[in-house]
Amino acid sequence: MTENTKEQKGKFIVFEGPDGSGKTTQIKLIYEYLRHELTEDIIMTKEPGGTEISNKIRQILLDPDNVLLEDLTEVFLYAASRAQHVKELIKPHLDQGFYVLCDRFVDSTIAYQGYGRGLDVSLIKKLNTVAAQGLQPNLSFYIMVKPEIAMQRIAQSRSFDRLEQNEISFYQNLYRGYLALLEEDDSKHYINGEQTVTEVNEDIKKVLQKKL
Ligand code: TYD
């Protein structure tokens, strides 16, 4: 498990994975589970978003009309949204001893904009170390589904935002990116997202029971 600054009393737990991985269902289930298991307070949040200002940036990022949005602009907007989110919501809660569960964080930008869109991964890492004030998740769960399955699941859901209009090659690169990130340290945990909701949930709980 990654350790942050001395003042941080709480734990920062992040859920990652491609669209269609079932990550959002899982974070909600784990939130309910931990609320009953822990004596500490807990909040659940998401990126891009989490605060009023970050949500305004989210609207620009997801708007299907923004076809002219440049890749680099996108990277800066995710970092800007994150800087606000960390400063206004995440850090203050961690400093007070909360458990903070977050749907996506820096690794989403590395996987989507870096590996997916082909932007410089080292630049994204540097920019986001600044945006996140060096904050790293204590624990991350990568709910992984193969690109073909992710695409099938997305096609079955009715709404398509700007970011869900991508080719299979984008999802293949994204998947590769997540696998590369998983290798980086042992605070990141691979979870097979192709199982049933209950099985995925049990796998996450097993890791939590061991690590927390
Ligand atoms: P959202 O509707 O919240 O989807 P999900 O439930 O899958 O998280 O939209 C978030 C989209 O933003 C999703 O397609 C992934 C993308 N994204 C990036 O491309 N880079 C990032 O840094 C983040 C946080 C999200």
Average pLDDT per 10 consecutive residues for the chain, totaling 212 residues: 76 96 97 96 98 98 95 97 98 98 98 96 98 98 95 76 72 96 96 98 97 89
pTM (2 d.p.): 0.94
pLDDT of residue 11: 97
> Which residues lie across from 141 on neighbouring strands?
15, 189
pLDDT of residue 1: 74
User: Hey, whose CA ends up nearest to atom 6 of ligand 1?
Assistant: 24
pLDDT of residue 143: 98
Distance of alpha carbon 8 from alpha carbon 54, whole angstroms: 22
Distance of alpha carbon 37 from alpha carbon 34, whole angstroms: 5
pLDDT of residue 180: 97
Residue of 25, 103, 108, 173 to test ligand 1 pocket, by largest number of atoms within 8 Å of CB: 108
Residue of 16, 19, 123, 140 to test ligand 1 pocket, by largest number of atoms within 8 Å of CB: 19
Return the DSSP state at 87: I
Instruction: Give phi and psi for 87, each to the nearest 5.
Output: -70, -45
Complete DSSP assignment for 157-177: SS---GGG---HHHHHHHHHH
List ligand 1's pocket residues with C-beta within 6 A. Answer: 19, 24, 46-48, 78, 103-104, 108-109, 112-113, 163-164
Distance of alpha carbon 15 from alpha carbon 122, whole angstroms: 22
Distance of alpha carbon 91 from alpha carbon 132, whole angstroms: 9
Ligand 1 center from residue 49 Cα (angstroms): 10
Ligand 1 atom nearest to 104, measured from its CA: 24
Under DSSP, is residue 95 helix (H, G, I), strand (E, B) or coil? helix
Ligand 1 atom nearest to 105, measured from its CA: 24
